[in-house]
Amino acid sequence: MKKTILFSGVLLIILLSGCKKNNDYVLYYQLKQHSWQRFNKLLFEIPLRPSPKGWDIYFFAHHTKDYQFDNLDFNMIMNTPSGEERIKEYHFEIRKKNGAFSGECTKDSCIATIALKKEINLPGKGILKIEIENLVPRLEVKGLLGVGIRMHPRE
């Protein structure tokens, strides 16, 4: 039991610290009790490095197959180091019209991804802040294991 808790803690620290795989930044919030509370805003702070051709920024949701909604509606507020603020609402498809999940699935969970910004040019230094607000009209959204941001430098 203690080893499982220790392993989960170490995994969470690694995921939250911004893993770099193939020059990607990945930040992940593991959600307590597999649910996202309606007014629990998530803040992602990403240290920028130069990318001459810009960045692609994605939001992903890791959910169980018990996720009950077809979509995950959310609001994104992005603050760049230069002071620019970008705000947009997203209607994130989790289930296709035929009822199948839209992401990549394993035996008991799926990961769905949506592009937040493509080919965005950001200054080479500073912290990019992305705040994600749950807009699903329920006090809590059950069936979510976690959500995250992945930034990929364009090549």
Distance CA 103, CA 28 (A): 17
- Of 11-15, 19-23, 146-150, the least confident: 11-15
- pLDDT at residue 101, rounded to an integer: 92
Structural domain count, the chain = 1
Residue 123 pLDDT exceeds 60: yes
Residue 17 confidence class, pLDDT cut points 50, 70, 90? very low
Chain centroid to Cα 8, Å, comes to 19
* % of the chain beyond a pLDDT of 90: 64
Mean pLDDT over 3-10 rounds to 39
Which residue from 125, 148, 118 is spatially nearest to 18, judged by alpha carbons? 148
User: CA–CA separation, 101 vs 66, rounded Å?
Assistant: 11
Q: For 85-89, what is the mean pLDDT?
A: 96
71: domain CATH number is 2.60.120
User: What pLDDT, on the 0 to 100 scale, is given for residue 41?
Assistant: 95
Give me the amino acid identity at 153: P
Question: Are residues 87 and 77 in contact, defined by beta-carbon separation less than 8 angstroms?
Answer: yes
CB 45 within 8 A of CB 147: no
Kindly report, residue by residue over 56-72, the tens digit of the pLDDT. 999 999 999 989 999 99
93 touches 70 (CB < 8 A): yes
Domain that holds residue 34: 2-153
- pLDDT reported for residue 22: 66
